[in-house]
Structures are given as C-alpha cells and as structure tokens.
Amino acid sequence: MKVTLPNNSVLEMEPGSTILDCVKKIGPGLAKSALAAIYNGKELDLSRTLTEDGSLRVLTHQNPESLELVRHSTAHLMAMAVSELFPGTLLTIGPVIENGFYYDFDSTHKFSPEDFPAIEEKMKELAKKDFPVERSEMARGDAIAYYKDPSHREPYKVEMMEEWTDEKVSFYKQGPFSDLCRGPHVPATGKLQHFKLLSVAGAYWRGDEKRPMLQRIYATAFLNKEDLEKHLFQLEEAKKRDHRKVGKELDYFHLEEGSPGMVFWHARGWRLYTKLMEYIRVKLARRGYQEVRTPEVVEKNLFVKSGHVANYADLMFFTESENREFVIKPMNCPCHVEIFKQGIKSFRDLPIRLAEFGKCHRNELAGVMHGLMRVRGFTQDDAHIFCTVDQIADEVADFCRLLQEVYADFGFNEIIVKLADRPPKRVGGDEVWTTAEAALKEACQRAGMSYELNPGEGAFYGPKLEFTLKDSLGRHWQCGTIQVDFNTAGRLSAEYVASDGSKIAPVMLHRAVFGSLERFIGILIENFAGDLPLWINPQQIRILPVSEKFLDAAAELNQKLLDAGFFSEVDVRNDKIGFKIREGEREKVPYLVILGDKELQSGKISLRKRKTGDLGAFSLDEAMEKFKLEISSRGA
C-alpha cells in the first residue's frame, strides 16, 4: 500500500498496518508527539488500520486542527473523572464549543465550582496514568442492549442511538471508562494537560424545556500552557470590562427592581446616547433618509392588521383607555407604513427611506434580560426603505457601505455577514425570493463583504443579512441587520402607482446599523473597557484646582471649555492634587487640567492624559486645538 506524505515522499506499507505504524516509520519522535492524523482528508485515530492508498498528514500539538481533538478528548477525561468521583452519574453528550467544551451530566449530586478542584485533580491523575484510548465498534442494536442493561444503564445514550441509522457505532475506552463516540481521539490520556473547569449551569436534554434538566460543566482545554493562560486572562479581562459594572462605576445608568429591563439613563450615559444619535443622524441625512417620529402607544388594531398580535403577542405590552385597546409598540414598521400611506405615492417617489430612533418595548421572558444587552425597553436606529424589487440591490449595497463606514469609525473592522435565505414556511412566490436573495448576494459583493449562508433562517416575509462585529477581546456581537419584507406593506394596504398605472405594494427593507442604542453602548463600554475615545466620551476634561484659592480661575476656564462645546467639569473638592488625579484616573476622565499658581503666572494650563501622564504646559488655544484634532480623527 502506498502512503504519500506532505513532502511528496511515498512510504510502502504492509496491508493491515495502522496509521501509527506509518508514523513510526517516519520517525520515532513524531510517533511520540502524534495526536491523530488526516488520511485522505479524514481525521482519524492513530490506531486505525489503513485500507487504501492515500495521503497522510500527522497532527501534533503544533497543528491548530488538533485543538478540537484535544478538547473533545479532554471532555471524555472530564466525564471519566466525574464518573469515578460521583458513581451513578449518567452520561449524555460532551461537544466542543467555540472556546472549549462542555459535558452534560444527569446526577443526583449537585455540582458546584467547589467540586472543580477535586475533578481537576482527578483528571490530572487519570491523565498521568496515560491510559491508551482505544476505539472499538459494535452493532448498533448490541450497543443499545448493552446500555439498557441495568449494570451499565445509560438511557440518554440509548435514546440517541435509537434515532441513528448507522449499522455500527463506535466506542472509545480509556482504562475502565468507555463512552459512545464518533471520535477521533488522542492516542492516550497523557496527551491531555492544559485544561480548566470554568462553570456549571443547567441545560435541558436536547435543549427542550419539557425534557430533564441536566447539569452542564463548562471547561476549556488548549494545546499549550501559554494559550490556556492567555484565554483565562481574557476571561478575567472580560469580567473586568462588564458593562454593568463599568456603567455603574462611570455613573452612566442604572436598572431597578420596579422596572425590570428598562434603563434609567444618568446624565453621562445619556450624553453618550445622544452623541451616538447625532452621529448617525448626520450619516442618514446625507444618504437621503428622512427622520420621522411615531407614537409609542398605538391602537391595537394596527398591530392586528400587521399580523404582530397573531404572531408576537407574547412579547407585547398591552394597555387600554376609554374602552379602547392599545399596544406599546414592539417595533416601528407598522407606524412607518402609516406615514408612507399619507398621500398618493408614485413609483417616481421610490425609494422612500423613513428613519426613526424608535423606542420599542418587548415583554421579554424574565430570564433573558442582561444589562444593556437585552432589555425590555430599547431604541433602535431603525429605518424602513420602501422600494421596488429592482431597487433592492442598490439599497442593500448602500446600506452595507454605511454599516462598514460606521463600524470602522468605532474601530470595528472585522464584520461577519450571514445571509439567511428562504425558510420552509414563507409568503411570496419563489421568483420574488430568488430575486431578493440574489440582490442581497450582489449587494454584499458590491460592498466587498463576504458572507456565510444561513440556510432556511430567513424571516417568513423575506431573506435577511445579519452583521456581527468582533470586539477587542475577539467576542462576537450581532448588531446590524437588513431584512427584505414582501409582506407587511401589502397587509397594511400600502401601495404606489406603477408606471403602467397599476397599484403595487412596495417592498420594505427593515434595517438598523447599531441594532439598539442600548446594546451598542454596552458593546462600546466592553470593547473600550470604559475608556471611550474622546469623540464619544461623555467626560472629556476635568479641571483640578491645586487648592481652593484657584476655584474661581477653574470656573472661568471651565466656562471657556463649555462654550467651545467640550464636556468639562471642575473637581471642587477640598482635597490634595494627588488625590484628585487619582480619582480622575479611576473615573476614566480622558484629560485632566491642573490649575495652580504656576499656570496663573504663565497663562498656560497643564494637561494630563489618562494612562499617559503629564503632557506639560499648553496655551488654552493649543489645548483646544489638540482636543479638536483628536475628536475629528475619532482617535481612541
């Protein structure tokens, strides 16, 4: 049998040899460090027997592809440790996830982080024993019978296997522990060294709330110690940056028990909020959007006609007055349609782009609220573009460019685009869907964005693009979206007069760049760890008088800065300058101005930049130029 290596050399192997035999032939060092191999494009265990000619690539700790393998094998190691420490625990599944893996257990023992050291110790002990990990196969029926036997009862495994159609299933055995698994795995438990248990949480069997609640242990594993430590450091960093914590420290907002999921914006947070609105408002005006404002309390009937009450009632707040029923609007679209319907629209008027900072309320499930990221009352930077089918591509392409421009201004340069196409249940003919999907694809191309397909995930009324940005810690946040809608305008009897005089319902494009102002602010806080760039920072300058003698001079300077449009304030407290500097740094004020005798004598001010330190003396004009430059360049 011929085995081709990556350097194109060919090894001649006896029939019946395993991959490991092959690797040994390449070199004993490689055989020692090998974890698995890719043979003819398939990832396989080293113990697998070669049955055909092929090309071989050996995976070691050096290869990024090994990460999933190691994580999955570590999941088995964790399951083994848990089984030994807590006999009677039932096994379910232990998949690899983005930054690690988890394993779901059904156990009478209630796991808590206090169990982690013992489990980790056990894992290390089992790893040290270096059990070989051995693959075996069994007929599916036999495996089911085996797992039904009371002495090794695993009902969850039985349920999974009963749904499969494979004739044979594979098991992986390490020492006394074995688990149903497709593999592949590392050759021995000794290869597993860099892991950490992270958290424990409830999770339904198969994500179904009617099924038993299992206990999920989240953990992670890496190929080397440095990567593990780097990841653990990032988790710590993320915790420090938590927008709920930072937002409170910076006095941006608070939430309270009486209004769950509704934000009380404090002066500073609201300054940031309005800054973002002003920023996007200018961009929209230049692209031909018309900003409008519609009511938050709307007659229920409008949302009955739009279909929201039928499909969305669980998430809506209702109210009534004078025997009439109203809704607190959960979205702005029907209101924008009402504006569109005022007067007669011609095809010449299209596209019409109606934008609104629309405050919406959704009665989200109690368990899903999360700081600013998931709230019940929020404001979308919403707009609806009423257009013809032919105009979709142009409008979407223009939106994609707008979105790129905006995200780049905030320093987000990596954007993931997902195209969700036609779902099984949908309205509209196939030819319209095809046109719309093609238009979205074309728009992405024109904007130079590559997209992943999210098959069947579109809304019932049309396909959509979803935009996810990556923050400074590499975390993903879905913000922007543009959705094609063939349904709503027609339902609400909105139409335009076409060139042939017929009346046609326009296509509606629902779109948002930030998504919601609340969520976007949460993302900004975490991305910048509270150190917002000067151009959006609601605190820009704080004047620190060296002693009370300089309070008047400080007030005068403060007024000049306020007149010039900067956010400035004076620390009037009777404390030493060192203390005020410390406080200013702690409260993340970008610039501190020290004002004392020296400054009054020289007519200059002393500037101190956060995290950098003393910048020296500047005339007021020089300092303001400096601020303006930093603001216009949007520098961080």
Partner RNA sequence: GCCCAAAUAGCUCAGCGGUAGAGCACUUCCUUGGUAAGGAAGAGGUCCCGGGUUCGAGUCCCGGUUUGGGCUCCA
Q: How far is the CB of 50 from RNA (least distance, A)?
A: 39
Please tell me the distance from the alpha carbon of residue 631 to that of residue 620, in angstroms, as a whole number: 16
Kindly tell me which residue out of 154, 395, 599, 630 binds RNA, with binding defined by CB under 7 A.
Answer: 599
Q: Is 333 a catalytic residue?
A: yes
Whichever of 407 and 496 has its CB closer to RNA, that residue is 407
* Tokens (6 digits) for 386: 């009423």
- Stretch 368-397: interaction string toward RNA, x if CB under 7 A: xxxx--xxx-x-x-----------------
- Asked if 330 contacts 361 with a C-beta cutoff of 8 angstroms, the reply is yes
Q: Is 241 a catalytic residue?
A: no
Chain residues 425-484 in contact with RNA, contact rule CB under 7 A? 478-479, 481
- Under the binding rule (CB under 7 A), the answer on residue 518 touching RNA is yes
Kindly tell me which residue out of 1, 158, 160, 203 binds RNA, with binding defined by CB under 7 A.
Answer: 203
- Under the binding rule (CB under 7 A), the answer on residue 207 touching RNA is yes
State the first-to-last Cα distance of the chain, in angstroms, to the nearest integer. 61
Q: Is 384 a catalytic residue?
A: yes
Kindly tell me which residue out of 199, 301, 346, 413 binds RNA, with binding defined by CB under 7 A.
Answer: 199
Chain residues 271-310 in contact with RNA, contact rule CB under 7 A? none
- Under the binding rule (CB under 7 A), the answer on residue 359 touching RNA is no
**Closest among 491, 481, 490 to 459, alpha carbons compared:** 481
Kindly tell me which residue out of 157, 422, 426, 608 binds RNA, with binding defined by CB under 7 A.
Answer: 608
Part of the chain binding RNA (CB under 7 A), chosen from 6-14, 42-50, 149-157, 591-599:
591-599
Classify each residue of 338-377 as buried b or exposed e, where b means 16 or more C-beta atoms within 10 Å of its C-beta: ebbeeeebebeebbbbbbbbbbbbbebeeeeeebbbbbbb
The catalytic position among 380, 391, 404, 539 is 380
- Under the binding rule (CB under 7 A), the answer on residue 236 touching RNA is no
- Under the binding rule (CB under 7 A), the answer on residue 582 touching RNA is yes
What does the DSSP 8-state code read for residue 95?
-
What does the DSSP 8-state code read for residue 329?
-
| DSSP codes, 22-82 | HHHHH-HHHHHH--EEEETTEEE-TTPBP-S-EEEEEE-TT-TTHHHHHHHHHHHHHHHHH
How much helix, strand and coil, in percent to the nearest 5, is found in the chain?
Answer: 40, 30, 30
Q: How far is the CB of 225 from RNA (least distance, A)?
A: 24
**DSSP β-ladder status, 496-497 and 345-346:** parallel
- Asked if 70 contacts 184 with a C-beta cutoff of 8 angstroms, the reply is no
Q: Is 266 a catalytic residue?
A: no
Tell the residue number behind the tokens 């339902």, with chain if given.
Answer: 491
Tell the residue number behind the tokens 């069997």, with chain if given.
Answer: 205
- The dihedral formed by the CA atoms of 16, 22, 24 and 26, expressed in degrees to the nearest 10: 160
Residue 586 burial (CB count, 10 A): 9
- Asked if 417 contacts 372 with a C-beta cutoff of 8 angstroms, the reply is no
Whichever of 125 and 575 has its CB closer to RNA, that residue is 575
Q: Considering CB under 7 A, how many residues would be counted as binding RNA?
A: 65
Please tell me the distance from the alpha carbon of residue 150 to that of residue 48, in angstroms, as a whole number: 32
- Under the binding rule (CB under 7 A), the answer on residue 257 touching RNA is yes
Part of the chain binding RNA (CB under 7 A), chosen from 19-27, 255-263, 399-407, 494-502:
255-263
Please tell me the distance from the alpha carbon of residue 134 to that of residue 123, in angstroms, as a whole number: 18
Q: Is 25 a catalytic residue?
A: no
**Secondary structure (3-state) at 416:** strand
Q: Is 478 a catalytic residue?
A: no
Backbone φ, ψ for residue 53 (5° rounding): -60, 155
Kindly tell me which residue out of 8, 108, 450, 574 binds RNA, with binding defined by CB under 7 A.
Answer: 574
Whichever of 85 and 615 has its CB closer to RNA, that residue is 615
Q: How far is the CB of 577 from RNA (least distance, A)?
A: 4
Q: How far is the CB of 611 from RNA (least distance, A)?
A: 6
Q: Is 353 a catalytic residue?
A: no
The catalytic position among 194, 336, 464, 580 is 464
Whichever of 84 and 587 has its CB closer to RNA, that residue is 587
Which sequence positions are flagged as catalytic? 333, 362, 380, 382, 384, 464, 510
Q: Which residues sit at the interface with RNA, rule CB under 7 A?
A: 110, 199, 201-204, 207, 209, 213, 216, 244, 248, 255, 257, 260-261, 362, 364-371, 374-376, 378, 380, 478-479, 481, 512, 515-516, 518-519, 546-549, 573-579, 581-582, 585-586, 592, 594, 596-599, 606, 608, 610-611, 613-614
